[in-house]
Amino acid sequence: MRIVCIGGGPAGLYFALLMKKENPAHHITVVERNKPYDTFGWGVVFSDATMENMRRWDPPTCEEIEQSFSHWDDIELRFKGRRIRSGGHGFVGIGRKRLLNILQARCEALGVELQFEAEVDSDLAFPDADLIIAADGINSRTRTLYAEQFKPDIVTRPNRFIWLGTHKLFDAFTFDFRRTEHGWFQAHIYKFDAKTTTFIVECPETVWRAHGLDTADQEASVAFCERLFAESLEGERLMTNARHLRGSAWLNFQRVTCEHWWLRNANGAHVVLMGDAVHTAHFAIGSGTKLALEDAIELVRQFRQHGDTPDRIPAVLAQFQELRRVETLRIQNAAWNAMEWFEACGTRYCDQLEPEQFMYSMLTRSQRISHENLRLRDRTWLEGYEQWLAEHARRAAGVETEPAAAPVAPVPPMFTPYRARSVLLKNRVVVSPMAQYSAVDGIAGDYHLVHLGARAMGGAGLVFAEMTAPSPEARITPGCPGLWNDVQMQAWQRIVHWVHEHTDARIAMQLGHSGAKGSTRRAWDGEDRPLPDDGSEPNWPLVSASTQQYLPGVSHPAREITRTEMDAVRDEFVAATVRAAAAGFDWMELHCAHGYLLSSFISPLTNQRTDAYGGSLENRLRYPLEVFAAMRAVWPDHLPMSVRISAHDWVEGGITPADAVEIARAFKVAGADLIDCSSGQVSKRQKPTYGRMFQTPFADRIRQEAGIATIAVGAISEADHVNSIIAAGRADLCAVARPHLANPAWTLTEAARIGYTAIAWPNPYRSAKPQLEAGFAREKAQSGRP
């Protein structure tokens, strides 16, 4: 085959040499705009997995690269006058110029033709080519030329960064944070050869402009960075090799993804994008070069498997795209998380977190590194942090501990205490409110006693009752519990008394009004479907902030609630709150999420009112805040109240995470102690981005920016998840739902799984504790895990 690689970066060069090695009969040309053995950039970072992959495919190249590597295990944080170091991270770096020189020399040795100082305006300039590799970088002309076919999605991020170098050598991958009068700057620093270090300086656009860097030339920008990071530079200078750029050397990162990766051009040649031309990964996790090299490996692998003749190209490219898309999205998602962390750290973490917790948050920013993964990397550091966090939590909760006669094992973050007003929780695990649809006439019966009692015995610190209605018309289904009369209150009182007598868990009531989502069948009979018209269980009229039909053409229409009715509903919430206090609940939560009545006021998707309760977010919050304030006034002052909100509607024009911060601030002013951060379920048009802990970022943002404690919910299913969330300060509590349906003793089970034996079991169950712990210990030993 005749193959042309447009662009002499890592993707194009490595593909060329591997393909030539596979079949020397191929005629392969690499066309590069720069001069021979000339390139721009400082150091690039590899992972051990990428190097192992390269070693299998071309040992000579791998060996030469390894000889030029700088290797380090440690990450060091320089922050607020402190230096904190964690080991076991295993990075390798090499100068970009050195890497490309090695690849260029290997190409020449194998017989690849290299053409330098050659501009390529179009892939059509190579009429004899069978295959064209468009590895022409982030500003790919090829991608632009065929934008309609490749369908690129290019997102320009808000932070500014400048890529510099220095002869000051650092022995760890160093992150240096500096506060100025206008905000925070951070430097990403890593050595890549025996005399040079990469030094990337980053800051928000507002901070960049406030310092006049938008009008500064490169020389002035470098001088500014030298002054800012003088303490770390210790007299060394910063250097730029971006003189080829016009104007400022400060850039905005661009995230590139493409819907399609390849096509056939007018000459009949197949054109495939590779490297930064088709996908980019933020430097916060250093994976751009990794993606480029592994693109090259996978494409060669596919030619090996399918055949390397022109007729096999379509099958090869189709499979290449399918396989690489999955891996690329995984890396890009991790890079996106890391990038967003650095973009937001100045407003969200730098001022709020102490250095110890800031370090943990930074290390786990991509969500690829979990709590137990950190233990594998550096047990000593993590256990030291766990001890710090546990002591910090005990002090905050007002829990005194007697000095231990001997060293004790660190307490995992999920098992640290938490206090809200007078209520002390023994740990950070919450049994989430889960609708059971098993009440009769709104009365919680024996089923609820067994359901909630079992979970209270299962080790969680707080157990929530399901959403309970303050009136018959506030129910979702006829099977929902209520608190509109004293019989219901007495039924709840029996359950609360049992939990208090037999467990050390606390129990919470959640009150909510179904609004437009009411008068429906139980979930197993047809979720969100109206009650049948056979009269067995009559439907009831529905109200909402504005006239709506939750399921168009299916749900019963809800009419706009009147001001008089709003007063009546508020009073029903107040009466139910008084009954909840009389029943002995430890905690109250108001449900303002998921499209129910109070949520329908908050979301612009469901609130089209033209009175004082519609329009701006301030107006839309007015009624939910009225209800909350009225409840807070009658709920005992020493007991906490939380509010569940939908922090993201996942629909264009709906509530956004930025709105959620303002919502949380408003409820905080009204007296809320925590925000329970859910999302969605307001509109069937929603398009959530699911994944493990997918709603935790909402809790994180609200906690840091609104300055109120939060409960994280959603796809939290392992102790590792809870420990990571609590340790990083992303939330104060973690609500676990479905795993608690499957296993009422989920908390006790997860403690045994991670080897935490200091947790107390209910006395009647204690004989099972050592057996469960021994079973998990054997399983761990057999797997070879430490």
pTM of structure: 0.92
Residue 527 clears pLDDT 90, i.e. is over it: no
Q: Please, which residues have CB within 8 angstroms of residue 525's CB and are 6 or more apart in sequence?
A: none
Residue range 568-580: mean pLDDT, rounded: 98
Nearest residue to 318 via CA among 299, 297, 344, 345: 299
Q: What is the pLDDT of residue 567?
A: 98
Kindly report which listed range (71-75, 386-390, 645-649, 666-670) carries the lowest average pLDDT score: 71-75
Residue range 607-618: mean pLDDT, rounded: 98
In the chain, % of residues over pLDDT 90: 85
Residues 161, 202: contact at Cβ < 8 Å?
Answer: yes
Gap between the Cα atoms of 644 and 159, Å rounded: 32
Q: Is 596 a catalytic residue?
A: yes
Residue range 132-138: mean pLDDT, rounded: 95
Decide which of 49 and 606 is more confident: 606
Residue range 83-102: mean pLDDT, rounded: 89
Q: What is the pLDDT of residue 712?
A: 98
Output the average pLDDT for the chain.
Answer: 94
Residue 40 clears pLDDT 60, i.e. is over it: no
pLDDT-derived band at 283 (thresholds 50, 70, 90) equals confident
Gap between the Cα atoms of 116 and 443, Å rounded: 81
Kindly report which listed range (86-95, 251-260, 661-670) carries the lowest average pLDDT score: 86-95
Q: Please, which residues have CB within 8 angstroms of residue 461's CB and are 6 or more apart in sequence?
A: 418, 425, 426, 427, 428, 429, 430, 505, 506, 733
Kindly report which listed range (399-413, 466-480, 599-613) carries the lowest average pLDDT score: 399-413
Residue 37 clears pLDDT 70, i.e. is over it: no
Residue 79 clears pLDDT 60, i.e. is over it: yes
| Model confidence pLDDT, tens digit, residues 269-280 | 999 999 999 999
Nearest residue to 8 via CA among 30, 36, 40: 30
Gap between the Cα atoms of 469 and 465, Å rounded: 11
Residue 388 clears pLDDT 80, i.e. is over it: yes
Per the document, the length of the chain is: 786
Give the orientation angle of helix 696-705 with respect to helix 657-670, to 10 degrees: 50
379-385 LR contacts (CB < 8 Å, sep 24+): 379/786, 381/85, 381/86, 381/87, 382/86, 383/410, 385/356, 385/359, 385/360, 385/727
Place of tokens 């592994």: 294
pLDDT-derived band at 784 (thresholds 50, 70, 90) equals confident
Q: What is the pLDDT of residue 41?
A: 65
pLDDT-derived band at 138 (thresholds 50, 70, 90) equals very high
Residues 70, 93: contact at Cβ < 8 Å?
Answer: yes
In degrees and rounded to multiples of 5, residue 188 shows phi and psi of -105, 115
Residue 498 clears pLDDT 90, i.e. is over it: yes
pLDDT-derived band at 581 (thresholds 50, 70, 90) equals very high
Gap between the Cα atoms of 618 and 366, Å rounded: 34
Gap between the Cα atoms of 238 and 164, Å rounded: 6
Q: Which of 596, 613, 623, 756 is catalytic?
A: 596
Residue range 236-262: mean pLDDT, rounded: 84
Residue 331 clears pLDDT 90, i.e. is over it: no
Q: What is the pLDDT of residue 81?
A: 96
Q: What is the pLDDT of residue 493?
A: 98
pLDDT-derived band at 181 (thresholds 50, 70, 90) equals very high
Residue range 702-724: mean pLDDT, rounded: 97
Residue 701 clears pLDDT 60, i.e. is over it: yes
| Model confidence pLDDT, tens digit, residues 186-230 | 999 999 888 999 999 999 999 999 999 999 999 999 999 999 999
pLDDT-derived band at 247 (thresholds 50, 70, 90) equals low
In degrees and rounded to multiples of 5, residue 696 shows phi and psi of -60, -35
Residue range 330-334: mean pLDDT, rounded: 85
Q: What is the pLDDT of residue 488?
A: 98
pLDDT-derived band at 246 (thresholds 50, 70, 90) equals low
Give the Cβ contact number of residue 316 at 10 Å: 24
DSSP conformation letters of 337-372? HHHHHHHHHHHHTTTTS-HHHHHHHHHTTTSSS-HH
Residue 129 clears pLDDT 90, i.e. is over it: yes
Tokens of 742: 């499957």
Q: What is the pLDDT of residue 286?
A: 67
Give the orientation angle of helix 769-783 with respect to helix 746-753, to 10 degrees: 40
